[in-house]
Amino acid sequence: MWRSLRLASTLGLCASAFGQSSTVDSYISTESPIAKAGVLANIGSSGVESSGAYPGVVIASPSAADPDYLYTWVRDSSLVFKMLIDQYTSGQDTTLRGHINDFIAAEANMQQVANPSGTVSTGGLGEPRFNINETAFTGAWDRPQRDGPALRSTAMITYATWLIANKNETYVTDSLWPIIKLDLDYIMNNWNETTFDLWEEVDSSSFFTSAVQHRALRQGSALATAIGQSSVVSGYNTQADNILCFLQSFWNPSPGFMTANTAGGRSGRDANTVLTSIHVFDVEAGCDGVTFQPCSDVALSNLKVYVDSFREIYDINAGIRADQAVATGRYPEDVNQGGNPWYLVSFAVAEQLYDALIVWSKQGLLTVTDVSFPFFQQFDTSIKPGTYSSSTPTYSTLTTAINNFADGFVATAAKYTPSGGGLAEQYTRSDGTPTSAFDLSWSYASALTAFNARAGKTSASWGAAGLSVSPTCSTSKASTVPVIFNVNVTTVVGQNIYLTGSVGALTDWSTTNAILMSSADYPTWSTAVTLPANTQIQYKYIIVNNGNITRESDPNNEFTTSMSGITTLNDVWR
């Protein structure tokens, strides 16, 4: 009798799961083109919802009031274009190259715009948002936000890596690298400073920000090596090691979650951490906990604690079993716009689970540890810690249940998506009505990345595999100062100006790895370099044209760096 009842119950759950899967299949089929069109509608002068935006500029939303999101955020824009670059480089959509090139040009322009956070060499890269005509937003805001340079450089490095593989290294070296290097140098020199979090509310150290900074420096180091810019590699690697060590300090072992921020006066349970897991996902890293991979025991434990924190606080979650998906928001204490669920975080939870399933399938096994035990116990009350190969019934039971669980979060978003498919920022906690900013670019992008993950698609590896944590962390600043080099040179087509000099940061007189200067203010060529403080420096400018090198005349230029502050050198070619 008991066996019959159990079988009937199992069959009932299977039928329910099949029905949910069909619902999600149908939703993805209809929502995917709507979401893609929604993203493109919010980009540049050709976007049907982005009138007034310059080419390549992503508006957060067409909403111009309550809330006014008719601006461009570095974070949102970079996440949107990381998704588009992944689609382009994987061959999923080969029509996007013009948009990508426009994005690169727009971001390069905004890097140079003086703003309330500073100039390009005095902290301005931490400015979170700009007007859609690429001018500075000068109103009061929570700044700086230091995740922007990391996310922007990651998107561009992904594109650069693809270009190199497709025999376009010259464009990467001459055009992309100077843009990327500005962001990477900013990260290297400022990662251990406080920052407002991605919700623009808490000024502290943020898990999401630190994690994406770590990824950017790892990818940046690999790109620099690939294009012969070896002088920066040691600095990037050193600070990446320090950030990775620092990231481990966010772990709260009881009840087992990553604390989102080091301040803020909240519980620390936050979608910040789930977003971290999907934005540092590297399929080659397996279930590594050090880099917080989606299937790691710490990331799964964290996911359960985060999701469970919303089960009792939203009316629309009433009556939903503890092993089923629910609507989730930014953090349980949220009161902004009423403190509602967000579409993008509902998709993010699903994406983390789909990513985990991809890795387990690739490995042919999954491991239950004491840390991840509460997560897996949701789906099999008799589970015990151990490793289960794909040939075992336990593996099949768990992965099927987890796939259904992931589908549940997509189904939740689908339930509260209006008939036209438009995705707002939030849906109300009381009845699921879409609210806050409409046609949110980030919501559309998050839907598309979750749908890709469900289909088993992954992005290129970024080098997370095999990383280890240093036994000691260093968060102290090196004794360095920024120096801006300007030189007035009239050149002809094909010529570029490079800088080299007597210290490692100036490539130790190497002409092969010399620093490419920017011609944005031609005939003045410029670059900013971080140099040892209170140090005598010698340097020269060189012209490179088709491999031919012309050096300045002797003697070498010479100066002594300051103890602090910024030094600007204005030279004329001789």
Instruction: List, by residue number, the catalytic residues.
Output: 197, 200
Helices 97-111 and 74-89, interaxial angle, to 10°?
A: 150
Which letter does DSSP use for residue 230 in this model? G
For the stretch 305-312, contacts whose Cβ atoms lie closer than 8 Å and that sit 24 or more positions apart, written own/partner, are: 305/255, 305/256, 305/257, 305/269, 306/257, 306/269, 306/270, 306/271, 306/273, 306/274, 306/349, 307/349, 309/267, 309/269, 310/341
Least Cα distance to 338 among 230, 425, 259 occurs for 425
**Rounded-to-integer distance, Cα 368 and Cα 391, Å:** 16
End-to-end CA distance of the chain: 96
The burial class, CB within 10 Å (0-12 / 13-18 / 19+), for 538 is: middle
Q: What DSSP assignment string belongs to 380-404?
A: -TT--SEEEETTSHHHHHHHHHHHH
Chain position carrying tokens 């060189």: 542
Farthest-apart Cα atoms in the chain, separation: 97
Chain position carrying tokens 């050198």: 569
Sign of CA dihedral 298, 304, 310, 316: positive
For residue 418, give the 3-state DSSP assignment. Answer: coil
Q: Are 300 and 383 in contact (CB under 8 A)?
A: no
**Rounded-to-integer distance, Cα 108 and Cα 26, Å:** 40
For the stretch 96-104, contacts whose Cβ atoms lie closer than 8 Å and that sit 24 or more positions apart, written own/partner, are: 99/40, 99/43, 99/44, 99/56, 100/159, 101/56, 102/43, 102/44, 102/55, 102/56, 103/43, 103/56, 103/58, 103/77, 103/155, 104/56, 104/156, 104/159, 104/175, 104/176, 104/179
Q: What DSSP assignment string belongs to 528-565?
A: EEEEETT-EEEEEEEEEETTEEEEPPSS-EEEE--SSS
The burial class, CB within 10 Å (0-12 / 13-18 / 19+), for 554 is: exposed
Which letter does DSSP use for residue 506 in this model? G
**Rounded-to-integer distance, Cα 98 and Cα 55, Å:** 10
Alpha-helical (H) ranges within 115-270 are 147-165, 169-171, 177-190, 207-226, 233-247
Token pair listed for 100: 């990508």
The burial class, CB within 10 Å (0-12 / 13-18 / 19+), for 269 is: buried
Token pair listed for 513: 């790895």
Least Cα distance to 269 among 298, 300, 297, 310 occurs for 310
Which letter does DSSP use for residue 430 in this model? T
Token pair listed for 177: 């690298």
